[in-house]
A and B are shown apart, each in its own frame.
Chain A
Amino acid sequence: DGGITQSPKYLFRKEGQNVTLSCEQNLNHDAMYWYRQDPGQGLRLIYYSQIVNDFQKGDIAEGYSVSREKKESFPLTVTSAQKNPTAFYLCASSIVGQTFAYEQYFGPGTRLTVT
């Protein structure tokens, strides 16, 4: 079955440590995205990538970094510069639309807690 996997589901880190969240998709989608969700809130875009070796900042990219070395993989690193990293992180992918974006398909998410 095609889909998006994120690991781990729960992640705990000490303040000051960098942490990398994994996202893999086998849907053959060109575009991938990282979102952050805080309790009771909507989604905020961190980074997105339309093609391998290229990515763009979203609305809240500060304190985060990404790479896109393979079409299937789009890992997110939460650096120590991120002031409030505790949140739920969702990865998504989609095909690339000609006119506007197509629907995005999401992974199960990673809940990151930093203490």
Chain B
Amino acid sequence: AQKITQTQPGMFVQEKEAVTLDCTYDTSDPSYGLFWYKQPSSGEMIFLIYQGSYDQQNATEGRYSLNFQKARKSANLVISASQLGDSAMYFCAMSPGRKDSNYQLIWGAGTKLIIKP
């Protein structure tokens, strides 16, 4: 079954430290996409970063990077130099490559990140 697992329900991190949010996935499709979203307390889902299964390099977007380990089926989000505004829920999602799932994302349960001053 296709599945996303986020094992950390909550994390506390000191401001300015780097933080890694875990995400493992399960799919038998050779081609898939992996996404990370941020959901602040306001509720809006904000797209952060994307990694394709055939991408050779790990994706980076500013302070966000995705540590993609294909053999281990993990796609961890790394936030460098955390800021107070990074406090939010973070969701990992996967798009399987099968045509009948072409328009659906499979979502993890999320990790609540709290940055301490």
Binding site for B on A (CB under 8 A): 31, 33, 41-43, 45, 48, 50, 56, 58, 88, 90, 92, 94, 96-97, 99-109, 111
B43 and A88: CB pair below 8 A? yes
* Total A-B Cβ pairs within 8 A: 68
Within 8 Å CB of A99, what residues of B? 31, 97, 102
27 contacts between A and B (CB under 8 A): A33-B103, A41-B109, A41-B110, A42-B108, A42-B109, A42-B110, A43-B45, A45-B104, A90-B45, A96-B102, A97-B33, A99-B31, A100-B29, A100-B32, A100-B95, A100-B96, A100-B101, A101-B33, A103-B35, A104-B105, A106-B47, A107-B44, A108-B42, A108-B43, A108-B44, A109-B43, A111-B43
A103 to B49, CA, bound (A): 9
A50 and B103: CB pair below 8 A? yes
Q: Which chain B residue lies CB-closest to A110?
A: B43
Within 8 Å CB of A100, what residues of B? 29, 31-33, 95-97, 101-102
Interface SS of B by simple majority: loop
Q: Name which of A31, A48, A104, A107 has the most chain B CB atoms within 10 A of its CB.
A: A104
A50 to B96, CA, bound (A): 16
Within 8 Å CB of B110, what residues of A? 41-42
Please tell me if B25 contacts chain A, counting CB pairs below 8 Å: no
Q: Which chain A residue lies CB-closest to B110?
A: A42
Residues 13-45 of chain B, each 1 if its beta carbon lies under 8 Å from chain A, else 0 = 000000000000000010111010100001111
